[in-house]
Chains A and B, each alone.
Chain A
């Protein structure tokens, strides 16, 4: 890139950041003022009240079951869609185009908005949650599956055709044999993701532990809230670990290696998960079918769209974007030092690294909406709480990505720099930084994309942005306005995600 263009881009980025901080009311004083509230809150949380431990466990398992069922149904639907939507396998361009556009739209609606829609159109409860997860899963997973199928090598497929094989055999032994590791990797990732999402869906009445949590919060029973949060964190980080472990085995080891111990551990974990989901599955699966006509009614209820207040919505949408930008910038600030500490090839003492790693895991495991609820009670209603909530959660991802990038650094140029006798700081900048910056930018852009989606939901708990209007319009039965807001969200999220992926392609 031209130096001049680069400077101009930096100036633009800087001004946009300033603007976003201003709009989303980022300030140090709010933090300092909130400090006392924070201390009080933590005091009230301790000691956590585990009196209803049985109920908490039952609710937790129900929530896990929601995530599992949503993932299973979503996978069943996404698999054929992914196959037909892959450029190299799709029967015709029309099908390819339709599936890709459809999943783009599905993906641009945040999961919590689906949950809201289903709570309204079907019923309050876990069924709405499962359905929400199914829709969000289809959006994400179909895209992942498409990428998996597109990455397969077509040469062996021709070889199998040349044996006179039937289509079914070719599918199994040529296509799936190659795509399966990637597909299972993505599915496991989504299972992990969905269980985390399920924890938060209860905030809008879509079942699981989130509902109970929100109830206790409203009655200021912070000791009970703390107990629930602790249980949620334990289970989420457990699942995160098992999922990472399993994905590592799938991607990096051969089919016939001798890692029986590892494999049996993972198998046991999955059997346990299966049993939990059977035991705690929502009994009213039948009402899923009866809910479909109502779903149709709910969607038609959005039309004709009501554009009376579109200006106000557009303004709030700007605030939402500003929140996403501010959150991304703050998360970058947090993640840079953490990422360097976390990377194994940077020599930091082991205890510090372990503490940081656990902290990062905690941030990742905690859904941003739960952060937002707590932050709203600490620093007050408004976008700043939402910004911080997103920034904290995203730091959990970004720092991990940064660390992985730093670990993949080519050591040869570093040695060359060392041989010139340059200082540690210079080596850090010229050796490490220059290699990783393009990749970092790519992750940052990806996170910005994700954060726009997340910030549209912050308003549901009073943490700024368009989400407040969204939930109000539903509560006041003004569905035609709801429709307008959802349309706005789809448009803005799609544009941001197109822009972000355009720049990411240029970077990497």
Chain B
């Protein structure tokens, strides 16, 4: 699905998080959002699935304008837009399979089936699919294990399996690698690229670790600072000057600057 963002602004209290953002993301693109904490990248991402209501401006998904006041439309939108989180957001105490199955909760169901799902019974067909997806993320032997017994990388793969269960057209990932080591982070991004290739879906990833930004994983990088879009281009075009304009002077900040206004 194509995403068009027009003149989007959002203010939290006194803090202007998004300042007239214009951005068009084509179907199937792999986009990375970069910027300092508080630069607005997460807010921008969350307004695409309606978790944040912008103050002004519009977002069109697949040509349709998002109406933030219509709950029904938001639900339909969210069913098409999957999300992966930094802290995985899994239900720790239940099994891997149940967590993956919750990915289908946005699906339209007839009355009998939705009653069954409400008391915890999913259809065989859904279970089969969940198992296939778990195989795809290489967790086929973990169906019945509790999530709290898994490692961080495994948890993130469960979260990705849950997202895939939705059969999304867009995949949003909010710092999916921030809680993982670099090697595991690379594996997760590789998985995203594999999914992108297979399903041809649009992926947007908010990412902090600069060493993970490479053309292997992303077609396009969008840099934000103080709510403004200041870079939009291929990962190769990211020069030292551009990074400095996004992050400030990387070398000096470690030594001199205290935690001030970010």
What are some 20 contacts across the A-B interface (CB < 8 A)? Answer: A153-B92, A155-B87, A155-B88, A158-B51, A159-B85, A160-B102, A162-B82, A163-B79, A163-B82, A163-B166, A165-B105, A165-B106, A166-B75, A168-B114, A172-B119, A173-B91, A173-B102, A178-B91, A254-B149, A255-B95
Given the known interface contacts A159-B83, A162-B51, the answer about A254 and B146 at a Cβ–Cβ threshold of 8 Å is yes
> Is B89 an interface residue, CB under 8 A from the partner?
yes
- Whether B90 pairs with A156 at a CB distance below 8 angstroms is yes
Contacts A169-B118, A172-B119, A255-B94 hold; do A162 and B105 have CB atoms under 8 A apart? Answer: no
For A156, A162, A255, which residue has the most chain B Cβ atoms within 10 angstroms?
A: A162
Contacts of A168 in B (CB 8 A): 114, 118
**In the complex, which of the residues B79, B85, B94, B145 contacts A164, with contact meaning CB atoms closer than 8 Å?**
B79
A164/B91 in contact, CB under 8 A: no
- Is the pair A156, B89 in contact by a Cβ cutoff of 8 Å? yes
Q: How far is the CA of A256 from the CA of B119 in the complex (A)?
A: 17
> Closest CB of chain A to B204's CB: distance in Å?
13
Known: A164-B166, A256-B144. 19 other contacts (CB 8 A): A155-B88, A158-B51, A159-B90, A159-B159, A162-B51, A162-B82, A163-B82, A164-B105, A165-B78, A165-B106, A166-B75, A173-B120, A174-B91, A174-B102, A177-B98, A254-B95, A254-B146, A255-B94, A256-B95
A161 within 8 A of B: yes
Q: Which residues from chain A contact B162 at a C-beta distance below 8 Å? A: 159, 163
Q: Is A460 an interface residue (CB 8 A)?
A: no
Which residue of the partner chain, among A163, A181, A254, A255, contacts B103 with CB atoms under 8 Å? A163
Complex Cα–Cα for A481 and B126 (A):
65
B180, CB-defined interface residue at 8 Å: no
Complex Cα spacing A164 to B87, Å: 20
- B51 near A170: Cβ-Cβ < 8 Å: no
Q: What's the nearest-Cβ distance from chain B to residue A195, in Å?
A: 28
1/0 per residue B56-93: CB within 8 Å of A? 00000000000000000011111111110101111111
- B49 in the interface (beta carbon within 8 A): yes
The answer to whether A158 and B89 have CB atoms under 8 Å apart is yes
Report the separation of the CA atoms of residues A155 and B118 in the bound assembly, to the nearest whole angstrom: 20
Q: Which residues of A contact B94 (CB under 8 A)?
A: 177, 255
Cβ of B117 and Cβ of A169 under 8 Å apart? yes
CB contact between B91 and one of A156, A161, A162 (< 8 Å): that residue: A156
Per the bound structure, the CA–CA distance linking A254 and B147 in Å amounts to 10
A162 touches B93 (CB 8 A): no
By beta carbon, the residue of chain B nearest A175 is: B91
- B75 near A164 with CB under 8 A, answer yes
Q: Nearest chain A CB to B198's CB is how many angstroms away?
A: 20
- Pair A162/B49 contact, Cβ less than 8 Å: yes
Min distance, Cβ B87 to any Cβ of chain A, angstroms: 6
User: Assuming the A-B contacts A169-B105, A169-B118, A177-B94, are A164 and B78 also in contact, with contact meaning beta carbons closer than 8 angstroms in the complex?
Assistant: yes
Is the beta-carbon distance between B93 and A181 smaller than 8 angstroms? yes
Using A156-B90, A163-B103, A256-B95 as known contacts, say yes or no to A172 and B118 having CB atoms under 8 A apart.
yes
CB closest residue in chain B, given A179: B93
Are B98 and A170 touching (Cβ within 8 A)?
no
Shortest CB–CB separation between residue B180 and chain A, in angstroms? Answer: 16
User: How far is B92's CA from A254's CA once the two chains are assembled, in angstroms?
Assistant: 11
Minimum-distance CB pairs A-B, first 3: A164-B106, A164-B79, A164-B78
For residue A153, which residues in chain B have a CB less than 8 angstroms away from its CB?
91-92
Measured between beta carbons, the chain A residues less than 8 angstroms from B119 are 172
Min CB distance, B134 to chain A, in Å? 15
Report which of B51, B102, B120, B149 forms a contact with A163, defined as CB distance below 8 A.
Answer: B102
B143 to A, closest residue via Cβ: A256
Select from chain B the residue with minimum beta-carbon distance to A165. B105
Q: CB-nearest residue of chain A relative to B74?
A: A164
Interface residues in A111-163 by Cβ distance below 8 A to B read: 153, 155-156, 158-163
Interface mask (A66-109 → B, CB under 8 Å = 1, otherwise 0): 00000000000000000000000000000000000000000000
Chain B's nearest CB lies how many Å from the CB of A150? 16
Chain B positions 94-120 with a Cβ under 8 Å from a chain A Cβ: 94-95, 98-99, 102-106, 114, 117-120
Complex: A455 Cα to B166 Cα, angstroms: 58
A165 to chain B, nearest CB (A): 3
Residues of chain B within 8 A of A170, CB atoms compared: 105
Q: How far is the CA of A170 from the CA of B98 in the complex (A)?
A: 13
Task: Determine the chain A residues whose CB is within 8 A of the CB of B103 once the complex forms.
Answer: 163
Q: Are B89 and A155 in contact (CB under 8 A)?
A: yes
Min CB distance B208 to A, Å, is 19
Asked if residues B89 and A159 are in contact (CB atoms below 8 Å), the reply is yes
Q: Which of A254-304 contact B (CB under 8 A)?
A: 254-256
**Which B residues lie within 8 Å of A160 (CB)?**
102, 105
A177 vs B91: C-alpha distance when bound (angstroms): 8
Shortest C-beta distance, A345 to chain B (Å), equals 26
What residue of chain A has the Cβ atom nearest to residue B102's Cβ?
A173
Taking CB atoms, residues of chain B closer than 8 Å to A158 are 51, 85, 89
With both chains docked as a complex, state the minimum distance between the C-beta of A347 and any C-beta of chain B, in angstroms. 33
